[in-house]
Amino acid sequence: MRSILAIIIIALMMTGCKSEAISNTPTVQPSELTIIEPNEQPNRVREKVVIYNLKNADGSKAAIETIYQTITEADLVDVFKQTFEEAEPLKGIVKMAAPTYKVIIGSSEYYLLIGDDKTDSIVNLDDSHTMFRLSPSNTIKIREILSWSEPEKVVEGLVMDKKVINQNNSYRVLIATNWTKQEKNTMDEWIEKAEQKHELAWYEIDKEVYLKLNISQPIAVRAANMQLDSLPPIRFAITVQIIEPEVVASSLYLNLIEEELYNQQLLLTPIRPDKEWILDGIKPSRYTVSPLNNETDSTRLEQLSIYIFNSKQQLEEGLKDFQKQTELINMLYPRIYKLNNAMIFYWAHGNMEETAKLSSYFEKAVKLLLEK
């Protein structure tokens, strides 16, 4: 089985020879580093990253610089910018290796030193006395980009599942790729289709991005060209872009909620009531609800409404709409649970001062759904 470590091993083959000296003489002026498209206004400048391969950078001979890569893809430019911004300064006296690359981002110039371990280092030419260490995950991203003869393609997909791997504190999302808005499938149908076409894979991503993603959310991923041979395979994401900031109103998210409630041993039976509360134009899915394998008098069954809004903002507007519609009505109010852009009304018997018999089921289900 190949592992992400293989990426590091390949990149280490590019390591330059060591020396204590670093040349600080820039050869490319900042004015050469921007691209202005013919049809763009001069103040709309697209950044790029220019990477030079260095030879004789140990100071023993005149340094030779040749262009190694020019990166114009916005997401990859952001990888370099974020990686260098997050680099931590090394304390004390540090023996510097000869730099392998010079990296120019906008008006800033850096030396990139490929390390012998899982981390690389940079030196800002404006402060050549300080070395900064890249994080292991950012090192993998930079080494992967350096190994490309051309950028890996961006693929779009839907988030099908999420999980945290506690052994190595990694964050993974299951993505079904080649998704289109025109197709309307359930979550099971999407997974089955993706498995058949080998378009289902786990992607290891940064924690900050993981926490922003929700099940059924469309995203775009640019990944490393190597993967772990598992079913589904495991890939390392270089960039992740959220296509839509909120979870879309779709049957996927409704199915996910239904599945989790079933996992909590609740039986949902769809019904069509004569009257339903329509909130901000959204009509809910209505069910009777009862514990699994527990016979309940059909006349005593409690009910459930699940609303899937287009956004969290619309959810709040829907809640205000419900309060406005019911402010003059004497009625039993539902227990309300909010999760992302979904809202659950649990129509329990008894008033709000009483403990509803199924409250613990819903509380656990909502907690688990919010963690996904």
Of residues 274 and 26, the one with the higher pLDDT is 274
| First and final C-alpha spacing in the chain | 28
Are 161 and 176 in contact by the 8 Å Cβ rule? The answer is: no
pLDDT for 287 equals 92
Model-level pTM greater than 0.85?
no
Q: In this predicted model, what pLDDT tens digit does every residue of 312-327 receive, in sequence order? A: 888 999 999 999 999 8
Are 256 and 188 in contact by the 8 Å Cβ rule? The answer is: no
pLDDT band per the 50, 70, 90 thresholds, residue 186 = low
Q: In this predicted model, what pLDDT tens digit does every residue of 36-68 receive, in sequence order? A: 333 444 444 578 999 999 987 665 666 788 999
Which structural domains are found in the chain, ordered by start?
27-146 (2.60.40), 154-242 (2.40.50.140), 251-371 (3.30.1360)
pLDDT band per the 50, 70, 90 thresholds, residue 24 = very low
H/E stretch holding 359 reads helix 359-371
Give the pair of three-digit tokens for residue 265. 């041993």
